[in-house]
Amino acid sequence: MSADESAVDDAPRSSMDDVIDCYKKNVDRTLLREALALTPGQRLQKLVDLLRAADALREAGTRAFR
Amino acid sequence: MTDFERLLRALGAGGVEFVVIGGLAANAHGAIRTTRDLDIVYARTAENHTRLARALAPLHPYLRGAPAGLPFRLDEPTLQAGLNFTLTTSAGELDLLGEVAGGGTYQALIPHSRRLDLLGTTCWCVDLDTLIRLKQAAGRPKDFEALAELVALREERDRPEP
């Protein structure tokens, strides 16, 4: 294994892991389970659709409150 | 909005050697948080620099946040002289990384990546375990929530079927 490859080896548990554990309590796992049922391509298509919808909403809001 | 499909298609059609990391890779693995830029680690070879510059030229890459009018041109000498570039293009925001903390180079990431069809382009995408390591290595407080989601995602993925 090269030095480069060893850079991605398992690291020992650090204090940051405790911080991440605290944040993990707020993760909505039902959404993750839904996403895991899809293919990677379907997941990205959902992302693209969501971003398009958000942009359309932002533009509509800008026009409405101009 | 970043046109991920167009960016990936340009890179793929141009024969660029790259690995998708960051938010789009996280979404491909099942993360819910949205991202607005494409992060890739590219191979640091003269041939790949040429391919990368050619592939992106039609998208008019420019340094993100830089004042207009700078004599910036993303070509082979520029890529050779630099390492990481945060760019804006006509298809959206693109981060080109020659190396990434916790993961190293393109060559180091390939054994930890999978070929996936991402929006019509088949390309390398870093695996979930490595994506988590990259986020950990970055160590940025703004990434804590995203990192927690990725760790939870891995737990859900590896959970035995009931």
A25-64: per-residue pLDDT in tens?
A: 999 999 999 999 999 999 999 999 999 999 999 999 999 9
As a whole number of angstroms, the distance between CA B97 and CA B43 comes to 9
Are the beta carbons of A46 and B30 closer than 8 angstroms?
no
- Is it the case that residue A9 has pLDDT exceeding 80? no
pLDDT at B152: 97
Amino acid B74: pLDDT: 96
Q: Looking at beta carbons, which residues of chain B come within 8 Å of A48?
A: 4-5, 119
Per the CB < 8 Å rule, is A20 touching B147? Answer: yes
CA–CA distance, B82 with A14 (Å, rounded to integer): 32
**DSSP letter string over B26-84?**
HHHHT--S--SEEEEEE--SHHHHHHHHHHHGGG--EETTPPTT-----SHHHHHH-S-
CATH code: domain of residue B83 = 3.30.460.40
pLDDT cut 70: percent of chain B above it: 100
Closest-CA residue to B152 (of A37, A26, A24, A10): A24
Higher pLDDT residue, A6 or B151? B151
Domain range enclosing B93: 4-158
Q: According to the model, what pLDDT value does residue A6 have?
A: 45
For the cut 80, the answer to whether the pLDDT of residue A65 exceeds it is yes
User: How many domains does one find in chain B?
Assistant: 1
Contact yes or no for A4 and B29 at CB 8 A: no
Q: What is the mean pLDDT of chain B?
A: 95
Which positions 21-50 of B are in contact with A (Cβ < 8 Å)?
Answer: 24, 27-32, 34-36
Which tokens in the block code for residue A55?
């942009």
**B136 vs B128, more confident:** B128
To test the contact with chain A by mutation, choose from B135, B153, B157 the residue with the greatest count of A C-beta atoms within 10 A, namely: B153
- The predicted structure's pLDDT at residue A4: 46
Confidence band, pLDDT 50/70/90 cuts, at residue A13: confident
Residue A12 confidence (pLDDT) above 50: yes
- pLDDT value of residue B139: 80
- CB contacts, 8 Å: A57 with chain B: none
Residues of chain B by 3-state class (helix, strand, coil), percent to 5: 45, 25, 30
Of B36, B118, B145, the CB nearest to A44: B118
Residue B77 clears pLDDT 70, i.e. is over it: yes
Q: What is the ipTM of this complex?
A: 0.86
Q: For residue range B16-58, what is the model confidence (pLDDT) as tens digits?
A: 999 999 999 999 999 999 999 999 999 999 999 999 999 999 9
Q: Could you tell me which of B157, B137, B148, B114 has the C-alpha nearest to residue B25?
A: B114
pLDDT at B154 over 80: yes
Any A CB within 8 A of B5 CB? yes
- Which residues of chain A does B117 touch, with a Cβ-Cβ cutoff of 8 Å? 40-41
% of chain B residues with pLDDT over 90:
86
